[in-house]
Amino acid sequence: MLNCAGKKISLATPVVMGILNITPDSFYDGGSFLTIINQLKQVEKMISEGAAIIDIGAMSTRPGAIPVDEEQEIARLLPSLAAIRGHFSEVVISVDTYRSIVAKAAIEHGSMMINDIYGGRFDGEMFDLVARHNIPYILMHMQGTPDNMQINPHYKDVVREVMEYFQSRLALLPSGFNQVILDPGFGFGKTVENNFRLLHQFELFRSFGLPLLAGLSRKSMINRVLQIKPQEALNGTTVLNTIALLKGANILRVHDVKEAIEAIRLVGTFGQ
């Protein structure tokens, strides 16, 4: 059970986090949702299809992405956050940021969850912030930074090293704070082989006793194997989401909510 600023989300059945990129340069849908009206239409669609969480990103973290400054990130984020909160008061809103100043502004304007690709390594204030507000925090693994993470990523044992990373980061969280979701970071400083090894052994991360998030949607681990573009990767996404569910994923972070919900329903029926 996640307590999102008083809004409870049960994870007895996996849930879907719908992606809303309000950026011009995200790898799949960059530039599609720059206006408030388009953002609201997309959020309405994702909620109607079954999304329990909407994850807003105001800065692209695709491979090779150059970060914008925190003022620009906040300037993009807050009008969208206010509009979405005003129109969809019941939905849980997550904000995808690794800066505590952005996270603080987001929480003050209605965000109920923080999704941090750096797992607190970029900003030492992040752990204290989320613990103080006691909101769910997605702790992701990434080797390198978005601008260099896909330049020759290397591991001796990717699963073991991601496990050790989680152990080390969790040890630094404020005492008593346990609203943590683990994300192994598919596509963030990993080769195709690394990504599939993580997915193959995904169930090992259940040993932490924390919810697991799988972010596989339309990523290069699909596109490179099938030799397709992200726009053609919906079927591949559903296949990998299904594998992740069978291996214990609690949250699917996706661009396409309807298909993810269908995967959850079918896997749930299969497991009865």
The CATH number of 2-270 is which of 2.60.40.1120, 3.40.50.2300, 3.20.20.20, 3.80.30.20? 3.20.20.20
Q: What residues of the chain score a pLDDT lower than 50?
A: none
Cβ–Cβ under 8 Å, residues 137 and 181: yes
Would you kindly state where each structural domain of the chain is located, as residue ranges?
2-270
| pLDDT one-digit tens code per residue, 101-142 | 999 999 999 999 999 999 999 999 999 999 999 999 999 999
Closest CA to 175 of 127, 143, 246: 127
Instruction: Give the pLDDT score at 65.
Output: 65
Instruction: Give the pLDDT score at 26.
Output: 59
Cα–Cα–Cα angle for 27, 29, 35, nearest 5°? 130
d(CA 254, CA 65): 20
* Overall size of the chain counted in residues: 272
Residues annotated as catalytic are: 219, 253
Instruction: Give the pLDDT score at 98.
Output: 95
CA distances from 226 to 72, 221, 222, 237, 245 (A): 36, 9, 6, 11, 21
Which pairing describes strands 2-4 and 7-9: parallel, antiparallel, or unpaired? antiparallel
Amino acid 28 reads Y
Amino acid 108 reads E
Global confidence as pTM:
0.94
Instruction: Give the pLDDT score at 91.
Output: 93
